[in-house]
Amino acid sequence: MKKLLLATTGVISIALLLICTTGCLKDSCSNNYKISTPIYQSLTQLRAGIKSSAAQPLQNTGKIYVYGNYIFLNEVNRGIHVIDNSNPAAPRNFSFINIPGNVDIAVQGNFMYADCYSDIVVLDISSATNVQPVKFLNNALPENNSFWGTSTNPDSVQVIAGYHVRDTTVDCATSDRWKNNMGNLMMDAGGRPSIASAASASPVKSGQGGSMARFTIANNFMYGVTGSRLYAFNIANAAEPQKTNSINLGWGIETIYPFQNKLFIGSTTGMFIYDITNPSSPVAQGSFSHAKFCDPVIADGQYAYVTLRSSTDASLRCPGTNNELNVVDITNVFSPRLFKTYGMTNPHGLSKDGNTLFICDGKDGFKVFDATNPSNIFLTKTFSGMVAYDVITLGGIAIVVAQDGLYQYDYTNTGNIKLLSKITIENK
């Protein structure tokens, strides 16, 4: 998934579209580039724009969350599409919530919790066409970026609200230096290149996220993971979340999935199980290790289902070559063990309803498996022609996010699964 690179004031990111025109004569040489320079706002100004607006086209979609008759679909780093799914055969994209820096969401009752860069914003969604922020948790997820610095005042924090693009021509010596540092090149405020590193009440109804989620809700607590930590927030008073815990998990943390009184946390090197009998203080129980791969996980009681995928994208930190489904026996949560492995193409998100297992297998599409016997899981149906990313199953409807659209399937009869609808994603 794409991530927005943030920078402090005076340091800006640079996008180089290499060599539109190159001229190399005996005594001169130059290359042309497009350089993006940021437009800054104070964090207070940026927050003032967080609210509902007219529906926008789906373009660079990310994670999905279902609550009641609504689908909330992330537009990476920009906000959330609100889709009325009262009729899954005719879903209606009817509004957009502008939240810069947003990737993850969770919902309970009339409140949505969304990341906004390293902050968490609490939004009142009692009116789906007039969503408003009611609370900001400043720098609640500090690993997500570093724009806060040492400040505690949002008026003095500067963030990137957009970019101004201009053409420039540089000599070949400068061009070669830029090319050698592609992907890690910054410019200072004067336009000079420099090298820098990139940085209790009764339970209320909550929604359901996909297996790629980093936010989840259980027992009046919201749990969020960053690349290295697990955070717990008490949301018994939904409009006033209170952070109760921050736990170091190591590195490469990717996903979180709740089941009964457990949290199953996926990382690039394994799966961790945390007990939340005391919801404010998760306690580590067992873990299952694997080679370095991207790793979402779900569970159903006796077994956890883990998809491992490789990637050539170094930013995903999934350099392995295996693509597979691991079935892990979690009967003893203190000592999970590998039960069975099944080959896949490039598996991403997954979901399970009863004995039916659903897997988004990348370019091989959306796949349905009979998992009645975990030692003999077999494929029953493939929906090809899409690059499938994540799936949520709920009440006989499978909601699938793919590269080209949001699909919904009726699987009440698993022998005759039917496509109900598709909202097309308009590629930029």
Given a cut of 90, whether residue 417 has pLDDT beyond it is yes
- Return the pLDDT at 105: 97
Q: Sorting pLDDT into bands at 50, 70 and 90, what band is 295?
A: confident
Q: Sorting pLDDT into bands at 50, 70 and 90, what band is 162?
A: confident
Q: Can you tell me the mean pLDDT for 129-137?
A: 95
Extract the tokens encoding 57.
């086209």
pLDDT tens readout for residues 373-411: 999 999 999 999 999 999 999 989 999 999 999 999 999
DSSP state letters, 271-330: EEEEE-SSTTS-EEEEEEE-SS-B--EEE-SSEEEEEEB--S-GGGT------EEEEEE-
pLDDT tens readout for residues 195-248: 222 223 334 678 999 999 999 999 999 999 999 999 999 999 999 999 999 999
Question: Are 145 and 6 spatial neighbours (Cβ–Cβ below 8 Å)?
Answer: yes
Q: Which of 333, 338, 391, 335 has the alpha carbon at shortest distance from 362? A: 391
- Return the pLDDT at 403: 94
- Return the pLDDT at 204: 62
Residue 400's CB is within 10 A of a number of other CB atoms, namely 27
Question: Are 292 and 312 spatial neighbours (Cβ–Cβ below 8 Å)?
Answer: no
The highest-confidence range among 22-31, 244-253, 307-316, by mean pLDDT, is 244-253
- The burial class, CB within 10 Å (0-12 / 13-18 / 19+), for 420 is middle
- Return the pLDDT at 290: 72
- Return the pLDDT at 36: 80
- Return the pLDDT at 196: 28
Extract the tokens encoding 341.
């492995």
- For residue 366, CA distances in Å to 241, 303, 313, 422 come to 37, 22, 22, 14
Q: Sorting pLDDT into bands at 50, 70 and 90, what band is 256?
A: very high
Q: Sorting pLDDT into bands at 50, 70 and 90, what band is 145?
A: confident
Q: Sorting pLDDT into bands at 50, 70 and 90, what band is 311?
A: low
Compute the half-sphere exposure of residue 320: CA atoms within 13 Å on the CB side of its CA: 18
pLDDT tens readout for residues 48-101: 999 999 999 999 999 999 999 999 999 999 999 999 999 999 999 999 999 999
How many whole angstroms separate alpha carbon 423 and alpha carbon 90?
A: 9
Q: Sorting pLDDT into bands at 50, 70 and 90, what band is 292?
A: low
How many whole angstroms separate alpha carbon 330 and alpha carbon 237?
A: 34
Extract the tokens encoding 303.
């077994």
- Return the pLDDT at 217: 97
pLDDT tens readout for residues 3-24: 333 333 333 344 444 434 444 4
Q: Sorting pLDDT into bands at 50, 70 and 90, what band is 152?
A: confident
Amino acid at position 244, single letter: T
- Return the pLDDT at 251: 87
Mean pLDDT score of the chain, rounded to an integer? 85
Dihedral sign computed on CA atoms, order 164, 165, 169, 170: positive
How many whole angstroms separate alpha carbon 289 and alpha carbon 211?
A: 19
How many whole angstroms separate alpha carbon 123 and alpha carbon 368?
A: 36
Lowest mean pLDDT among 25-34, 75-84, 114-123, 148-157: 25-34
pLDDT tens readout for residues 181-200: 544 343 433 343 332 222 23
- Return the pLDDT at 319: 56
- Return the pLDDT at 291: 56
Given a cut of 50, whether residue 298 has pLDDT beyond it is yes
- Return the pLDDT at 180: 58
How many whole angstroms separate alpha carbon 408 and alpha carbon 397?
A: 7
Q: 58: Cβ–Cβ under 8 A, 6 or more apart, which residues?
A: 73, 75, 81, 93, 405, 406, 423, 424, 425, 426
- Return the pLDDT at 371: 98
